[in-house]
Amino acid sequence: MIGGQKASRVDGFDKVTGEAKYTGDLNLPGLLEAKVLRSPFPHARIESINTEKAAALSGVVAILTRDDLEDINPFYGNCLRDRPLVALDKVRFVGEPVAVVAAEDPLIAEEALSLIDVRYHELPCLGTVEDALAAGAPLVHESTAGTGEFHDIATVGAVMKPNVCHYEFYERGDVTRGFAQADQILEETFEFPMIYQYAMEPHTSVARVTDGGITLWSSSAHPFLVRSELAHMFGLPHAKVEVIVPYVGGAYGSKSYFKIEPLIVAMARKTAGRPVRLAQSVPEAMLTTRRHSAKVRIKTGFNRDGTLIARDAEVVMDTGAYADNGPRVAKRAISRMIGPYKLGDCKVEVSAVYTNTVPAGSMRSIGGPQTIWALESHMDTIAHGLGLDPLEFRMRNLLKRGEELKGGATPIDADLRQGTKAAADHVCWSQRPNQIGKGRGVAVGVSDSEAMPVSVALLRLLADGSVLLLAGTTEVGQGARTILSQIVARELDVPIESVIMRGTDTLATPFDRSTGASRSTTVMGSAVKLAALDLRKQLIDAAAEALGTNTTSITLRNGTASCGDPCLTYSEVVSRYFGMPGGELIGRGTMRPGQGLGPKLPLFWETGMGAAEISLDIETGAIQVDRYITVADVGKAINRVQAEGQDEGAAIQGLGHTLFESLQYDNGQPVNANLVDYRVPRFIDMPALFDSALIENEDGPGPYGAKGMGESGIVSIAPAIGNAIFQATGVRIRTLPLTPERIWRALNDAKRGM
C-alpha cells in the first residue's frame, strides 16, 4: 500500500465518471449569476460610475460598486493589503473589476454590464519594469492598507524604491574581494516571460451572506487563509465564516490565497440572502493571475580549474498591479540564485516591481523556473569557456549532503550527484552527437519550499468500522486524498476503501496552513500519521478492555483486533467500548514549528534534475525534443504512480514556457489573453522519448522518509533544452520562449557576427 504496492486514486472513479461535483456544478435554491465589469485601461482615474440603466434592466437583482464598500475594510492581500474588492479611486490594470452585476441569468448580467457608464481619466501607463523604475515615474500605489496575516516575511511593507513592491537581499563573504581573486569573470543577462497557470477549471466561487454569517463555496487551495481574510474584511469572527471546497479542477498556484472570493462575498451581501455564483471564463482568469516575468543579471568569478569563487546576481520581477504573492516569490528566488554549488562569496538582490499589468501570484515552484533558467544556462557558458564538460563541471562543484547552501538554512539533504548522473545517463551523455543540429543538455534544480509546518488532522473511527479522515489539504489534482488515505490505511491496517476523506469545510475540518509549497505529504502527512497512531493506541486500549487482556497482547490486522484466537472487528471493538452499536474513537495529530520536522527551514530541499536531447533545423529554427528525462529525489514515493505523474506533469508544463508560452502586453494592453492566441503544451509537443526517475533514499522528514515533490520537475527543462541548443549550435539564447523565430534570428545574428 506504501511505495511499491499499487493504490488507485480514491477520487478517480468520481472524476472519470462525472460524479465529482465542482463549484461550478452547484445548484442552490435561488442561485444568482454574477458578471464583472472590467477596466479597459491599464491605468486611469475613475471619475464617475452610473448604474441606473443597468439596475432598471429586468432580472437584475443587485449591482456592486465602490459605493457599497464604505462600511467594511475593502482591501485584501496575503503579503500586502493593497488590492480593493473593486476599483476605488483608480484602476491599475486592464481587467481590474470596477462593478459586479448579480442577475437571475448570466445573459442578463452580461447585458447589464453594457449599460453601466464609467467615466475614466487615463493616466500614464507603466507597462514594463523599466517604465516603473524610470526616474520620475508615477506611483502605481501611493500607499497600502498594511500587511497580511500570514506573510511571514521580514521587512514586507517597508518603504522601498518607488514602485518596488518588495526587496530581498542576501550577502555572504566579500564579493568584491572574491572577484579580485578570480582568474576569470563572466556576466550574462537572461529573461523569462509572463506565464498563465492554466487550470482546466477557471476561478469559480459561490457565496451566501445571511445574519448567521458568510458561507462560501470556492475552488480554493487556501480555504483557512480565505476564512481569515474574509473575517478581517467584513468584521466577523472566524466561526461565522464557512469556506467549503468542492472538487477543484487544477490550480498550479492560480488558486492560492485570495482571487475572486472577497469580490463574490461583497456581492452576496446585497442580494438579501440569495446565493450568488461568479464563474470566470478562461480569458477572465488570465486577467486575474499569472507567473512573474523576470530579468536576471548574473555575474560569476571562477578559476581556470573550474572552481567557483564569487557571484553577484540581481533579479527584477514584474509583480503586476498588486503584490499578491510577490514578496514571497522574491524571498524564495534568493536560494535559487545562490545555487546548489560550492561558492564562497555571494550577493543576491531581488526586487518585485509594480507595473500596470495583471497581478502576478503563485505558480508551480515560485521563483524557480525564472532563476534556474538563468543559473543553469550560465553554468553551461562557464564550462564551455573553460573547455570543460558541462556535466563534469557540475559534478565537481555540486554541494554534498550536509553542506550548507544558505546561512542558517537546513543543509542539503540529498545526493545531488546521484540525480544529476541519472539524468545524464538517460540521454547517453558520454556519446557525443555526431549530427548537425543535434545537442544534449543537462540542468540541476534545487529549491526551498519553506512550507510552514502547521497542520492539524482528525480521524474518526465510526461504529461500522469505517474511518473518516478530516484534513484541510485541498485536492487540486496532486493526489493528496489518496496519499493521506494510504497513510491511515497502513497505520490502522485497514483497506484503503475503508478510509473516507472529503473536501474541506472550515467549520468542520481542522486547520491547515495551505495547500502548496509541496507541503501536503510532508506536513499534513505527518499530522495524519500522528492522528492514526493516536487512534491506533485508543483502539488497542479499547480492544484490550473488551478482550480482558493487556495491550501488549493485541494485534491489529486487516480491520480486526485479536489476542490469539479471540478476534473482534473494529466495529465490534467500538460497540463493546461504548456498550451500544454507536459511538466513535477520535485520533488527533498536530504539526507545528519545532515539533517533529526539524528546527530549521526549509523542511526539505526539493531537487529536480533534467537532461534533454534535441534536433534543430538550422534553416528554420524549428526544434524537436528527441529525449527528455526528469529526475526527482522524493525520499520515499508513497504512491509511485502518482509521484511519477506529478514529476512528468511538471516537466511538460515547463516545456510550455520553454518553447512557446508567453503572455504578451503592448503598453499595458494584453495581446493574447485567450487560449486561441496563448499556446499551452499539447500531446504533439511531447518529447519523442519521455521518462522520469525517482530517487528514494528514505531520508526525508515526512512519513516513511518522504519529501515534498511535484514542483521540481518544472525548473530544469528550460535550461536543459537551452544548453542542448548551445551544444548543437554554439549559440547561447538568453530569452524564453525558444520559438523557431527567436532561434532562427539568434543563429543568423551569430553568422553575421552580431
Give residue-wise pLDDT tens across range 291-301: 999 999 999 99
Pairing of strands 345-354, 117-122: unpaired
Q: Band the pLDDT of 436: cuts 50, 70, 90.
A: confident
Mean of all residue pLDDT scores within the chain: 94
CA 87/CA 125 separation, integer angstroms:
16
- Tell whether omega for the bond before 369 is within 30 degrees of 0, i.e. cis: no
Q: What is the pLDDT of residues 172-201, one digit of tens each?
A: 999 999 999 999 999 999 999 999 999 999
pLDDT bin (cut points 50, 70, 90) of residue 754 is: low
96: cell is 481590474
The C-alpha R_g of the chain, in whole angstroms, comes to 27
pLDDT for the residue 6? 67
- Domain 293-450+601-751: give its CATH code: 3.30.365.10
CA distance 56 to 104: 14
Task: Give the pLDDT confidence score for residue 506 in this predicted structure.
Answer: 96
Is the pLDDT confidence value at 753 over 80? no
Average pLDDT score over residue span 651-667: 97
String of DSSP letters for 480-534: HHHHHHHHHHHHHT--GGGEEE---BTTTSPPB--S-TT-IIIIIHHHHHHHHHH
The answer to whether residue 447 scores a pLDDT higher than 70 is yes
CATH number for the domain formed by residue range(s) 455-591: 3.30.365.10
Peptide bond into 737 cis (omega under 30): yes
Give yes or no for residue 117 having a pLDDT over 70.
yes
* Residues paired with 650 in a beta bridge: none
565 confidence band (pLDDT: 50, 70, 90): confident
Tens digits of per-residue pLDDT, 271-316? 999 999 999 999 999 999 999 999 999 999 999 999 999 999 999 9
Distance CA 156, CA 160 (A): 10
3 burial class (0-12, 13-18, 19+ CB within 10 angstroms)?
middle
Strand 669-670 with 665-666, pairing = antiparallel
Can you give the pLDDT at residue 215?
98
How far is 515 from 747, CA to CA, in rounded Å?
43
**Residue 389 backbone phi and psi in degrees, to 5:** -65, 130
Amino acid making up residue 537: K
In this predicted model, what pLDDT tens digit does every residue of 477-491 receive, in sequence order?
A: 888 999 999 999 999
How open is the CA angle 340-345-346, to the nearest 5 degrees? 65
Compute the average pLDDT of residues 101-111: 97
Identity at 691, one-letter amino acid code? D
The set of cell numbers assigned to 370 is 525564472
Pairing of strands 605-616, 467-471: unpaired
**Beta-carbon count within 10 A of 200 CB:** 9
pLDDT at 3: 61
Q: Which CATH superfamily is domain 12-123+200-250+255-285 in?
A: Aldehyde oxidase/xanthine dehydrogenase, a/b hammerhead (3.90.1170.50)
137: its cell numbers: 515615474
CB 613 within 8 A of CB 627: yes
Q: Which helix (H) or strand (E) holds 669?
A: strand 669-670
Helix, strand or coil, per DSSP, at residue 235: coil
Length of the chain as a residue count: 754
Peptide bond into 411 cis (omega under 30): no
**Tens digit of each residue's pLDDT (9 = 90 or more) over 368-385:** 999 999 999 999 999 999
- Assigned C-alpha cell, 531: 492522528
Span 310-367, pLDDT tens digits: 999 999 999 999 999 999 999 999 999 999 999 999 999 999 999 999 999 999 999 9
The model's pLDDT over 465-480, given as tens digits with 9 standing for 90+, comes to: 999 999 999 998 888 9
Cα angle for residues 525, 526, 530 (degrees, 5° grid): 115
Nearest to residue 279, comparing CAs of 225, 322, 217?
217
Q: According to the model, what pLDDT value does residue 449 have?
A: 76
Per-residue pLDDT at 621 exceeds 70 = yes
- The pLDDT value given to residue 148: 87
Q: Which of 337, 266, 268, 254 is nearest to 299 (CA)?
A: 337
Same fold, 12-123+200-250+255-285 and 455-591: no
Query: With contact defined as beta carbons under 8 Å apart, do 377 and 338 qualify?
Result: no
Q: Residue 596 pLDDT more than 80?
A: no
752 — pLDDT class (breaks 50, 70, 90):
confident
Angle, CA of 31, 37 and 40, to the nearest 5° = 160
pLDDT at 155 over 90: no
Asked if pLDDT for residue 597 goes beyond 90, the answer is no
Question: Which residue has better confidence, 99 or 157?
Answer: 99
- Between residues 517 and 189, which one has the greater pLDDT? 189
* Amino acid residing at 289: T
Measured CA distances, 393 to 384, 390, 396, 631 (Å): 10, 5, 5, 19
Query: Around Cβ 167, how many Cβ atoms within 10 Å?
Result: 17
Gap between the Cα atoms of 307 and 304, Å rounded? 7
pLDDT tens sequence across 47-88 = 999 999 999 999 999 999 999 999 999 999 999 999 999 999
Domain chopping of the chain, boundaries: 12-123+200-250+255-285, 293-450+601-751, 455-591
Confidence band for 655, pLDDT divided at 50, 70 and 90: very high
For residue 208, what are the contacts with CB-CB under 8 A and spacing of at least 6?
Answer: 28, 214, 215, 268, 273, 274, 275, 276
Burial class (CB in 10 A: 0-12, 13-18, 19+), 73: middle
Residue 628 has pLDDT above 60, yes or no: yes
Confidence of residue 5 (pLDDT cuts 50, 70, 90): low
Residue 176 DSSP label:
H
